[in-house]
Structure 1
């Protein structure tokens, strides 16, 4: 087995000189960079699928799941130094048991030494276990004695509070400037209502936490509490989308568009926007996932008349005034329509000019495609004779995609489509390559493998430098 690093590692410079692709399926170049295993103890070390690196690229943060679906059973967050292998405990949940609270999916702020992760509610028990409507975002300030801060406020008792949510946040992601936070969301009020009202469903949406004043909730309990930021839902879903329309029944897998937004055709800049997947129904009523975008260039604390930000007892929270989601892809006429492939939160180029997503080509292989946030035809980026089987990450300079196939790590040049296998031959038994992250500098790739030992198979953290 590869040993844990005990001395500082230095970047191994590698020039990736790739020829332009000449055929629909390009050959793979083997490059075999040096791989280092950073963790080795007999427990899970599960990276988030994005923002796992600290802003200075010296640390990787992770939770201790050994099963990606078991956040509710995980009690702790750790981080490991990529130079000397030191491991630090970041957070340990009090009163953890089989019902919660559950912590996981931890991300680093790109501009400051803060991490943010899912935290289940504190009143977890057999009747109220960790669940998708019962979680919040908890931040740890690593420069201030690991001080804790609850981000999103929650208020599940009418009259609801503007800026507070009524359910669970998940998959938190910082904007490029580190000031705003995106998340996916499930509403507890509507989820409870759906048990007695067949016209209501618990539909996933996306939202944003903005750097506005803290939100105070009256009569705080374990179910309702104040938070440090103002939160709003920015997508809109419906229980019964009209076939062939742009209505959606689920909004999910969101990603920030660009480090500082994107340019519109007239040259003006949208400084903050989110791309996300929306589940539509085609003309025949079949489910098709498409790419949507929502521009966030208005005052998100202002509500439309009769559409309260906080929702009502019979409705989900409404988007702010002037916020409307827009469909970007139209793929129903393709041989293999819709976004398909491994679970993937949407990515974009640093300048925001392209949004990336997985979709099958006409041969049935899952390839990475891209589309402008302003709409238009999608462009196929990878030209491989195989389907990628992990999520992908984009280098800080916008030149390369990194992803996995058959337990190997690959790079694809976004301009040429040329693909290189960069992971070396392994001397250890492993499975489950996942969660490939590119560092902020672009010099390092990090990912998970489940390493098989006599004590079991455990998610460990690896890097390629």
Structure 2
């Protein structure tokens, strides 16, 4: 199968790690940062993969930057991305704790997460920066990672990365706004719980990150009931020897939207001394116990669930130190090693829309791990330089996979077609 170069302009084109295809599978969305590590894109675009037609979705103004765009899984022309502050200055500029999420739809720009950085803080608002926004399968809820401005003002260590969600049932207005505070269209809450100094050998974590929604409709619990809403994320534990060990955690989320307003031991909006806390009904639980191996942090990847919610895929080293693809049930249990290659898995990954396989970079090729045959299927020819590691994304119809290559100093977008009827 031949790969097709989709973008050709002499500039950088950056795909996010998932949800980069329009709902109809016709277009790909991306930002135009000048380099992979520079978050200074001024616009986000889409390109029709058949015609090559490029459309600017949104252009920031007043010195703001935008990027890390994802597409609504069910609705064309609806997107979400990071938006940096307008009129940035030395005290408030694009950074992990100074950015927001925005929904882009029909020419309108809607800020998702309200920001309230002066006490008394507001329930449903956050206090800093959101990042890598992912729609749930229906698209009505959005997950993201979060950093806190208020705690960072106390010390860098106290701004611990967490996982948060945005719920559409109630816009949030900030009373007596000060400069840099703003309203939001969604009620936002942190759903992970971090500890500044985790107890060695415990399930406490210092940060939470790289989350993913579990299943299109949640997952089936050990009791046979359906847990409709849940997220998996990586949490950084501390071993008895004092080493940081990334493990997988799950949070089951309530269906009743009113439950998100009920605080537990700490306020959901946070205080001047502590981060925003999860609602009372949300408790994180650890599902991997890797005995010090830990989930791989390189290549960087995000936990991704099978469509039916029965398996959470992740990367971890095997006993020989080779990075392999693994899966585990959201109920916990023993992880299952899928790949058994002699070389590392080289990239983030995504699932086939019907759960038939997982695609990623291996041996400098785009490959598919076929669950039915327990085999790796190469889709592209091996090259001296591997495809880029950040994004290998299956289309909604299962007929194409999008990825990136660095060509003559610029990151370009490619697709490869999965023509066999099995995948389509």
Q: TM-score range by the shorter chain?
A: over 0.9
Match of 1:105 in 2: 68
- Partners of 2:375 and 2:318 lie apart in 1 by 17
Structure 2 residues not aligned, in runs of 5+: 418-424
Q: Is the 8 A contact 1:393 1:437 kept in 2?
A: yes
Match of 2:421 in 1: none
Match of 1:7 in 2: none
Q: Is the 8 A contact 2:264 2:279 kept in 1?
A: no
Aligned to 1:47, the other structure's residue is in SS state: coil
TM-superposition CA deviations, 1:49-85 (whole Å, max 9, x none): 10000110011000002422211x2111010001211
Aligned to 2:391, the other structure's residue is in SS state: strand
User: C-alpha displacement at 1:337, in angstroms?
Assistant: 4.1
- Partners of 2:179 and 2:9 lie apart in 1 by 34
- Partners of 1:415 and 1:425 lie apart in 2 by 24
Q: Is the 8 A contact 2:123 2:261 kept in 1?
A: no
Q: Which of 79, 82, 86 is the equivalent residue of 1:118?
A: 82
- Partners of 2:34 and 2:365 lie apart in 1 by 20
Instruction: Normalising by structure 2, report the TM-score.
Output: 0.94
TM-superposition CA deviations, 1:175-215 (whole Å, max 9, x none): 011110000000100010126xxxx6210000000121211
TM-superposition CA deviations, 1:327-385 (whole Å, max 9, x none): 0000116xx44444311110011000010100001111100111000010000011111
Instruction: Normalising by structure 1, report the TM-score.
Output: 0.86
Does 2:399 correspond to 1:443? yes
Q: Is the 8 A contact 2:387 2:404 kept in 1?
A: no
Q: Which of 49, 52, 56 is the equivalent residue of 1:85?
A: 52
TM-superposition CA deviations, 1:282-312 (whole Å, max 9, x none): 1111111000000002544322255211011
- Partners of 1:433 and 1:375 lie apart in 2 by 28
Aligned to 1:192, the other structure's residue is in SS state: helix
TM-superposition CA deviations, 1:92-115 (whole Å, max 9, x none): 11123xxxx221110001111311
- Partners of 2:302 and 2:355 lie apart in 1 by 17
Does 2:24 correspond to 1:56? yes
Matches within 5 A, 1:278-297: 278-297=235-254
- Partners of 2:388 and 2:17 lie apart in 1 by 14
Match of 2:355 in 1: 398
Does 2:93 correspond to 1:129? yes
User: C-alpha displacement at 1:43, in angstroms?
Assistant: 1.0
Q: Which of 301, 311, 318 is the equivalent residue of 2:270?
A: 311
Q: Is the 8 A contact 1:53 1:108 kept in 2?
A: yes
RMSD: 1.7
How many matched pairs? 414
Higher relative contact order (CA closer than 8 Å, sequence separation 6+)? 1
Match of 1:372 in 2: 329
Match of 1:46 in 2: 14
Change beyond 3 A, Cα 1:359–1:170: same
Q: Which of 235, 240, 252 is the equivalent residue of 2:192?
A: 235
Structure 1 residues not aligned, in runs of 5+: 1-32
- Partners of 1:182 and 1:127 lie apart in 2 by 27
TM-superposition CA deviations, 1:261-290 (whole Å, max 9, x none): 000011111111000000001111111100
Once the two structures are overlaid, the 10-residue window that deviates more, 428-437 or 228-237, is 428-437
Q: Is the 8 A contact 1:121 1:222 kept in 2?
A: no
Match of 1:65 in 2: 33
Match of 2:152 in 1: 191
Q: Is the 8 A contact 2:96 2:147 kept in 1?
A: yes
Q: Larger C-alpha radius of gyration, 1 or 2?
A: 1
Q: Is the 8 A contact 1:206 1:233 kept in 2?
A: yes
TM-superposition CA deviations, 1:209-265 (whole Å, max 9, x none): 012121111233541100110000000000110011000001000000001100001
Q: Is the 8 A contact 1:382 1:414 kept in 2?
A: no
- Partners of 2:385 and 2:317 lie apart in 1 by 30
